[in-house]
Amino acid sequence: MIEGACRHLIADRLDIFGARWGLTGAEAILDLRAVHSNNDFDTYWRYHVTREHARLYPTDDQDEYTLGA
């Protein structure tokens, strides 16, 4: 990552006065900022909504699936 992008994605968000970030929260914010900067937010959001729907409303036969990875 080039230096200017590091400042844009990381420092501007994480250097807020009084903010304390854990690794998980910082990674989540950086992922969202990168998605937004690349103009991919709409695609990401559709993917996220689809995954959340599958998690919250599993199909009846989902227990029979095995992981392929």
The tens digit of pLDDT for each residue in 19-43 reads: 777 888 888 888 888 899 899 999 9
| pLDDT at 46 exceeding the cut of 80 | yes
21: helix, coil or strand? coil
pTM, entire model: 0.56
* Mean pLDDT score of the chain: 81
Structural contact between residues 10 and 30, judged by C-beta atoms closer than 8 angstroms: yes
Locate 65 and state its tokens. 């699936």
Least confident of 17-21, 26-30, 60-64, 65-69: 65-69
